[in-house]
């Protein structure tokens, strides 16, 4: 296997050098002996070697063929023998080799001193001295040539070489030369030659090789693990080719162990493995060779080996092949590819998980197979549809690309529509291997449950809690599925999500569809068409175990048969829902009653029978007034009937609900009572939010000792909570009701709320004061008092809430004073006081020592902020928007990264801004005149955790010229460079200020909206970071909400003649709505975004960049003032009637620009310091110097 692999590698590599090795020797000395032996040994290792086969030398000069061979070789082996110097042919070869080495600075010269002392060669003594005496006579009129030969001999003999007298017998010298060549060859083979047309593989190969720790002498196994078709075998093959070329004496790659093991048995594979490692075919005739057997092991102890076992499916297979592997020769390595993590866990903790291809890699791979190049001939949307379907799986991309190759646009459409219904068989067969490898029917069943019934919104804990009722070993089963690469455990803010690749999900669903032609005879139903068929026609049978219906995908109204569930004895999971995400906006369910176009109707109600095996029952918008009579819910884990028409859950007595953990009846507006829950001891979560008819919470709730979540928000008729015992101190989250009577100043907080409460939401309540007893809630983390219209005072004891992290007091229209903070609050990080009549903040606010976000927007009575604000060293975000009477800001904390000042019309100046301030919005601060200083930090000192860069001074028309053209223009350059340095997405960037000049950094400028730029070779090299744009725009017409104005940029990269390689559209939204004077707008597009548009930087030679700008209008949605405005970018309309683009500049940004900016910044900071020393604090300002502009000027072909 080693030899065949090496052979295939050599034939696959097409490099500029034709030969690996060039042999230079004196024919009469070594041709028929040493040189021939060496040539044979090199050839046996499949090393391409040039050996001149001319028996006689002709003429004084080497032939053109020989010279060409020298230049086409990577390594030159020069055999200095007794009579080498007597051949002008050999001396010319030597001189040519050294000249070639000097000119190319590549290649390796390996001198071999065969039967001659190196010093004799170096000093031209002995036979070399005699030879040169003759040469000097012969070439007395050309002594320069003789001097050249002497210098060449001296130079070559000074190189590190091998002396034949150190190796006995002679075969050891041959072996050593071959080993040295093998070690040196890989550095001359570029990654591109190894990878060929393989996409997205370079970094993965490097990471695997790092895991192998080639330099260490221990013996270990490294696993390559991942789903089917993801490229494990390909990765292992590339790593094998790279390493087997030089690093190991014995190598073997066993392909498809799973199938070979099943077809031929362990003994056959062992023979194959050992015979190739030891290069001994006699092993094939042995009865049962083992790695650990003494005769074999003794030989392997002295042979450093590389073994690749591809597609190992079980630990038995691994043990049968490499039992006792740790006794192999030091430095030996074993690579195992598998879909089953359990195979690896028993033998190693070194494994590499192969990730899916990213979007750009997927596009490139698909286009390579679909078109033979990166330029598409089919609509981009259709290409994107295929790549979305494949979702980064290389096998799927290659199979689908090859299948669609040379097909018409119409055939593509047909094929894509078919894929949605009938998956590609070749892809499915590969993926199905993992499913068939599950030897436990229960685990297969759980896989099908997840594939058919649970979407990506479910966490692992959630799925396990539901399925545990029917399978107590579900936790183990899910771990097996993860190990088998059928699902993934992905960390998210709300828990570990169970993620399944769409192709694997489709494979699971295909397995279920193959169970029976009639949907009612299948185990699981998820397709709306199939479910509606079963429910209408009552064709469900005992085969049905699960139903999951997304009502948003229904295309008609459905009348459910009254006996539709009567034969579904084994139904475990029942889901009818109107949104995928269980954590959707709380108003969504309520809205869906009116907005959901098609509905399920139960004109005759339901028969009393529902499966007593139900573990999960969800029916959003449930249309009946109660559940069927005599329903048995003894195995139910969760009951979810959101937005239902329920008046009561059931019409009979107490239900035994021993395993019930969750009830969600939110927005069931007709629900007026809840049943006795005394037989539901494990109930953890109750949600009655929006149940506006609910009058009473039964006293049985107080005995639910495991209850951790109770939501009674907007239960407007529920006024009395006295029946809930105060023993329920263990609640973690509580949402209380609108009309809860909290206005009594005599009441003690700890008498109303449990003292261990962590979250207290009293929004929109009638509370009049926060009393001194608030300090008893020592575990309180979050306190919300938004829009409490009667709240007049807050006790100073609030500072004693030692765990408080968030305090929100927005819209409290009677709160004129914020309390003194009498002692430090160590944990409070968020304070919100928006829309309140507060007149001032106390100086004691400095005691909010951990505060990170301060929001006091729309506080129209505030004129000044306390000077102690600068002492809040952790304060990062300050929102002081629409404080119309604010006149002045105090010094700001150095940590401030974000400052929002929009619509503060009386604000005239800003204090010195922190250099770390990356977000500053001062839209329509119409009195603002100056920014005293805003130093830019050095870019190489920045870390990547800074928030997005948005600077907007739209409408600040009184800003002086120094602020506009020096401070803000320079800051714009800094923000662009900092964003591109860390690859920050351009969506996070915004920069706008009044002005009519394009900064000089934008070296390609036009007075129109279009520009064509001719690009030089290698412009898109490794140092390229992205493109920056700058325009001067004038908005001459007011634009009304919800419209907003923006700049669209169409960017095309082309080759000559005019072949489109990449097209990218970007959109920069303008920050103001009013008509105004000229404004400068900047934005950028980072390299990754361009790559995702389909441009392969390294494989395409772009020679032209064509840019065109346009004004466009889009639509925005209403949002709160304290969050960024979202907008729908699906549709834009012409915006030319609202403004015009006057100037346009482009800047190709490289890494060198970062260095130049830092040099310029240091210079300016030094000048400022010197001027301050000289003028006692006067501030000088300096522009961006011409000498820091990008050094490589791209030639502008035409400005249109």
| Average pLDDT of span 625-632 | 83
Burial 797-813 (b: 16+ CB within 10 A, else e): bbbbbeebbbbbbbbbe
Q: How confident is the model at residue 1077 (pLDDT cuts 50, 70, 90)?
A: confident
pLDDT tens, 844-877? 999 999 999 999 999 999 988 999 999 999 999 9
Specify the range with the lowest mean pLDDT, choosing from 568-582, 611-625, 957-971, 1045-1059: 1045-1059
Identical fold between 194-353 and 998-1172: no
Which residue is associated with the tokens 């196994």? 221
| Closest alpha carbon to 91 in 158, 155, 141 | 155
Per-residue confidence (pLDDT) for residue 1175, from 0 to 100: 42
| Average pLDDT of span 939-965 | 77
DSSP class of residue 459 equals B
Per-residue confidence (pLDDT) for residue 16, from 0 to 100: 43
Q: Which CATH architecture has domain 194-353?
A: 3-Layer(aba) Sandwich (3.40)
Which residue is associated with the tokens 């604090």? 1177
Q: How confident is the model at residue 1009 (pLDDT cuts 50, 70, 90)?
A: confident
Specify the range with the lowest mean pLDDT, choosing from 232-246, 376-390, 1061-1075: 1061-1075
Per-residue confidence (pLDDT) for residue 481, from 0 to 100: 94
Q: How far is CA 1024 from CA 93, 360, 837, in A?
A: 42, 17, 52
CB-neighbour burial class of residue 153 (10 A; exposed 0-12, middle 13-18, buried 19+): buried
- Give CA 544 to chain center in angstroms: 39
State yes or no: pLDDT of 532 exceeds 60: yes
| Average pLDDT of span 238-261 | 86
Q: How confident is the model at residue 420 (pLDDT cuts 50, 70, 90)?
A: confident
Q: How confident is the model at residue 241 (pLDDT cuts 50, 70, 90)?
A: confident
CA atoms within 13 Å, Cβ hemisphere of 323: 15
* Better-scored residue on pLDDT, 1118 or 287: 287
Query: Does residue 1071 contact residue 1095 with C-beta atoms inside 8 Å?
Result: no
* Better-scored residue on pLDDT, 1065 or 620: 620
CB-neighbour burial class of residue 951 (10 A; exposed 0-12, middle 13-18, buried 19+): buried
State yes or no: pLDDT of 729 exceeds 50: no
Q: How confident is the model at residue 222 (pLDDT cuts 50, 70, 90)?
A: very high
Is it true that domain 2-186 has CATH number 3.40.50.10140?
yes
Q: How confident is the model at residue 1194 (pLDDT cuts 50, 70, 90)?
A: very low
Cβ neighbours for 699, distance < 8 A, ≥ 6 positions apart: 723, 724
Q: How confident is the model at residue 573 (pLDDT cuts 50, 70, 90)?
A: very high
Per-residue confidence (pLDDT) for residue 126, from 0 to 100: 92
Per-residue confidence (pLDDT) for residue 1022, from 0 to 100: 75
Specify the range with the lowest mean pLDDT, choosing from 558-562, 922-926, 1054-1058: 1054-1058
State yes or no: pLDDT of 1180 exceeds 80: no
* Separation of alpha carbons 444 and 1037, rounded Å: 64
Per-residue confidence (pLDDT) for residue 670, from 0 to 100: 93
| Average pLDDT of span 677-682 | 85
Q: In this structure, what token pair is assigned to residue 364?
A: 């490139």
Phi, psi of 320 (to 5 degrees): -65, -30
Specify the range with the lowest mean pLDDT, choosing from 213-217, 909-913, 1053-1057, 1147-1151: 1053-1057
* Separation of alpha carbons 996 and 1143, rounded Å: 8
pLDDT tens, 151-195? 999 999 998 889 999 888 888 899 889 888 877 776 666 555 556
| Average pLDDT of span 241-256 | 83
**Strands in 1039-1086 per DSSP E:** 1043-1055, 1059-1069, 1078-1086
Per-residue confidence (pLDDT) for residue 1080, from 0 to 100: 92
| Average pLDDT of span 885-894 | 90
Per-residue confidence (pLDDT) for residue 732, from 0 to 100: 35
Per-residue confidence (pLDDT) for residue 734, from 0 to 100: 42
State yes or no: pLDDT of 1072 exceeds 50: yes
Per-residue confidence (pLDDT) for residue 1196, from 0 to 100: 34
Phi, psi of 492 (to 5 degrees): -140, 165
Q: Which member of 93, 96, 276, 832 is catalytic?
A: 93
CB-neighbour burial class of residue 1024 (10 A; exposed 0-12, middle 13-18, buried 19+): middle
| Average pLDDT of span 946-959 | 80
State yes or no: pLDDT of 248 exceeds 80: yes
Q: How confident is the model at residue 82 (pLDDT cuts 50, 70, 90)?
A: very high
* Separation of alpha carbons 646 and 664, rounded Å: 12
Specify the range with the lowest mean pLDDT, choosing from 348-352, 764-768, 841-845: 764-768
State yes or no: pLDDT of 107 exceeds 60: yes
* Better-scored residue on pLDDT, 990 or 260: 260
93 part of the active site: yes
DSSP class of residue 321 equals H
State yes or no: pLDDT of 722 exceeds 90: no
| Average pLDDT of span 405-433 | 88
Per-residue confidence (pLDDT) for residue 973, from 0 to 100: 86
Specify the range with the lowest mean pLDDT, choosing from 312-321, 903-912, 981-990, 1095-1104: 1095-1104
pLDDT tens, 731-764? 333 444 334 444 333 344 555 565 666 777 777 7
Helix (H, G, I), strand (E, B) or coil at 735: strand
State yes or no: pLDDT of 1195 exceeds 60: no
Q: Which CATH architecture has domain 998-1172?
A: Sandwich (2.60)
Q: In this structure, what token pair is assigned to residue 28?
A: 């009469």
State yes or no: pLDDT of 730 exceeds 60: no
| Spans of all domains in the chain | 2-186, 194-353, 359-422, 998-1172
State yes or no: pLDDT of 9 exceeds 60: no
Q: In this structure, what token pair is assigned to residue 284?
A: 């094939």
* Separation of alpha carbons 953 and 895, rounded Å: 21
- Give CA 395 to chain center in angstroms: 20
Per-residue confidence (pLDDT) for residue 191, from 0 to 100: 54
Per-residue confidence (pLDDT) for residue 753, from 0 to 100: 60
Rank 380-389, 918-927, 1104-1113 by mean pLDDT and report only the highest.
Answer: 918-927
Which residue is associated with the tokens 């073994």? 307
| Average pLDDT of span 369-374 | 74
Partners of 1140 in the beta sheet?
A: 1034
Specify the range with the lowest mean pLDDT, choosing from 205-214, 579-588, 793-802, 929-938: 579-588
| Average pLDDT of span 1187-1194 | 34
* Separation of alpha carbons 111 and 81, rounded Å: 11
| Average pLDDT of span 687-694 | 86
**Strands in 197-353 per DSSP E:** 220-225, 250-254, 305-309, 333-338, 351-353
pLDDT tens, 539-570? 999 999 999 999 988 888 999 999 999 899 99
């Amino acid at each position: 296997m080693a030899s065949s692999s090496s052979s295939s590698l050599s034939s696959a590599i097409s490099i500029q050098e034709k030969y690996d090795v060039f042999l230079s020797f004196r024919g009469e000395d070594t041709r028929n002996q040493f040189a021939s032996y060496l040539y044979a040994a090199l050839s046996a290792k499949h090393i391409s070697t040039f050996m001149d086969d001319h028996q006689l030398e002709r003429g004084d000069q080497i032939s053109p063929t020989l010279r060409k061979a020298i230049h086409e070789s990577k390594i030159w082996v020069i055999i200095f023998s007794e009579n080498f110097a007597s051949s002008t042919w050999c001396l010319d070869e030597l001189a040519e080799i050294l000249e070639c080495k000097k000119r190319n600075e590549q290649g390796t010269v390996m001198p071999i001193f065969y039967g001659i002392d190196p010093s004799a060669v170096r000093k031209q003594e002995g036979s070399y001295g005699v030879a040169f005496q003759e040469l000097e006579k012969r070439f007395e009129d050309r002594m320069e040539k003789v001097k050249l030969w002497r210098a060449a001999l001296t130079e070559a003999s000074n190189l590190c070489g091998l002396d034949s007298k150190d190796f006995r017998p002679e075969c050891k010298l041959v072996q050593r030369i071959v080993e040295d060549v093998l070690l040196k060859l890989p550095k001359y083979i570029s990654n591109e030659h190894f990878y060929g047309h393989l996409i997205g593989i370079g970094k993965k190969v490097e990471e695997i090789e790092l895991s192998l720790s080639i330099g260490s002498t221990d013996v270990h196994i490294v696993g390559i693990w991942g789903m089917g078709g993801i490229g494990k075998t390909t990765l292992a093959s590339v790593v094998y080719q790279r390493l087997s070329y030089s690093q190991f004496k014995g190598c073997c790659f066993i392909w498809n162990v799973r199938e070979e093991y099943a077809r031929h048995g362990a003994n056959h594979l062992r023979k194959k493995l050992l015979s190739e490692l030891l290069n001994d075919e006699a092993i094939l005739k042995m009865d049962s060779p083992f790695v650990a057997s003494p005769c074999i092991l003794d030989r392997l102890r002295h042979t450093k080996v590389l073994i690749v076992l591809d597609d190992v499916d079980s630990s038995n297979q691994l043990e049968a092949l490499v039992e006792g592997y740790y006794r192999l020769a030091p430095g030996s390595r074993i690579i195992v590819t598998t879909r089953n993590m359990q195979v690896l866990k028993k033998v190693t903790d070194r494994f590499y998980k192969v990730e899916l291809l990213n979007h750009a890699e997927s596009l490139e791979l698909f286009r390579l197979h679909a078109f033979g190049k990166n330029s598409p001939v089919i609509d981009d949307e259709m290409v994107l549809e295929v790549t979305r379907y494949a979702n980064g799986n290389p096998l799927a991309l290659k199979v689908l690309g090859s299948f669609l190759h040379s097909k018409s646009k119409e055939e593509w459409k047909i094929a894509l529509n078919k894929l949605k219904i009938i998956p590609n068989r070749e892809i499915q067969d590969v993926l199905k291997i993992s499913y068939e490898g599950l030897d436990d029917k229960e685990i297969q069943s759980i896989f099908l449950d997840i594939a058919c019934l649970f979407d990506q919104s479910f966490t692992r804990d959630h799925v396990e809690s539901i399925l545990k009722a029917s399978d107590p070993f579900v936790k183990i089963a899910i771990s097996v599925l993860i190990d088998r690469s059928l699902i993934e455990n992905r960390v998210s803010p709300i828990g570990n999500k169970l993620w399944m690749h769409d192709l694997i999900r489709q494979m699971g669903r295909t397995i279920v569809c193959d169970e029976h032609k009639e949907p009612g005879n299948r185990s699981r139903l998820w397709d709306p068409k199939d479910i509606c068929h079963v429910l209408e026609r009552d064709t469900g049978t005992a085969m049905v175990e699960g139903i999951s219906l997304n009502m948003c995908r229904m295309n008609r109204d459905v009348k459910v048969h009254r006996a539709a569930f009567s034969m579904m004895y084994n139904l475990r999971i029942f889901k009818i829902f109107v949104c995928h995400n269980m954590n959707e906006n709380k108003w969504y369910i309520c809205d869906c009653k009116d907005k959901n176009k098609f509905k399920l109707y139960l004109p005759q109600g339901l028969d009393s029978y529902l499966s007593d095996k139900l573990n999960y029952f969800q029916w959003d918008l449930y249309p009946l007034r109660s559940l069927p009579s005599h329903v048995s819910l003894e195995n139910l884990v969760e009951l979810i009937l959101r937005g239902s028409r329920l008046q009561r859950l059931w019409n009979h007595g107490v239900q035994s609900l021993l395993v019930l953990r969750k009830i969600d009846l939110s927005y069931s507006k007709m629900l007026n009572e809840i049943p006795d829950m005394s037989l539901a001891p494990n109930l953890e979560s109750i949600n009655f939010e929006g149940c506006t008819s609910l009058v009473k919470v039964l006293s049985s709730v107080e005995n639910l000792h495991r209850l951790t979540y109770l939501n009674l928000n907007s239960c407007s008729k529920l006024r009395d909570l006295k029946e809930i015992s105060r023993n329920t101190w263990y609640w973690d989250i509580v949402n209380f009701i609108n009309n809860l009577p909290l206005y009594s100043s005599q009441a003690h907080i700890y008498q109303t709320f449990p003292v261990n409460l962590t979250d207290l939401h009293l929004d929109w309540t009638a509370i009049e004061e926060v009393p001194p007893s608030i300090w008893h809630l020592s575990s309180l983390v979050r306190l919300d008092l938004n829009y409490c219209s009667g709240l007049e005072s807050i006790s100073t004891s609030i500072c004693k809430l030692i765990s408080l992290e968030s305090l929100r007091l927005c819209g409290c229209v009677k709160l004129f004073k914020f309390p003194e903070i009498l002692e430090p609050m160590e944990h409070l990080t968020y304070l919100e006081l928006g829309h309140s009549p507060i007149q001032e903040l106390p100086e004691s606010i400095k005691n909010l020592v951990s505060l990170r976000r301060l929001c006091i927007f729309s506080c129209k009575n505030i004129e000044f902020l306390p000077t102690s604000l600068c002492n809040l060293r952790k304060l990062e975000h300050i929102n002081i928007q629409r404080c119309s009477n604010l006149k002045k800001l105090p010094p700001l904390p150095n940590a401030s990264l974000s400052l929002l000042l929009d619509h503060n019309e009386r604000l005239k100046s800003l204090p010195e801004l922190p250099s770390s301030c990356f977000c500053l919005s001062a839209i329509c601060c119409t009195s603002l005149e100056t920014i005293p200083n805003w130093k830019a930090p050095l870019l190489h000192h920045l870390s990547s955790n800074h928030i997005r860069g948005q600077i907007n001074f739209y409408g600040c028309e009184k800003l002086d010229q120094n602020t506009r053209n020096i401070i803000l223009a320079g800051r714009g350059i800094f923000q662009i460079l900092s964003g591109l340095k860390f690859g920050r997405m351009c969506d996070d960037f915004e920069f706008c200020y009044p002005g009519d000049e394009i900064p000089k950094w934008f070296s390609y400028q036009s007075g129109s909206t279009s520009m064509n730029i001719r690009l030089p070779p290698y412009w898109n090299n490794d140092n390229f970071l992205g493109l920056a744009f700058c325009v001067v725009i004038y908005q001459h017409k007011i634009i009304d909400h919800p419209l907003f104005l923006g700049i669209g940029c169409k960017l095309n990269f082309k080759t000559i003649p005019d072949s489109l390689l990449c097209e990218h559209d970007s959109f920069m939204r303008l920050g103001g709505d009013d008509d105004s004077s000229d404004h400068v707008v900047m934005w950028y597009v980072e390299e990754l975004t361009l790559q995702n548009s389909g441009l392969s930087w390294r494989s395409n030679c772009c020679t032209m960049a064509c840019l065109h700008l346009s004004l466009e209008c889009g639509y925005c949605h209403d949002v709160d003032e304290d969050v960024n405005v979202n907008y729908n970018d699906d549709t834009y309309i012409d915006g030319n009637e609202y403004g015009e683009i006057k100037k346009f500049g482009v800047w190709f940004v490289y890494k060198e620009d970062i260095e130049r900016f830092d040099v310029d910044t240091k210079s300016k900071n030094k000048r400022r310091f010197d001027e301050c020393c000289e003028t006692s604090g006067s501030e000088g300002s300096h522009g961006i110097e011409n000498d820091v502009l990008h050094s490589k000027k791209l030639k502008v072909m035409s400005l249109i």
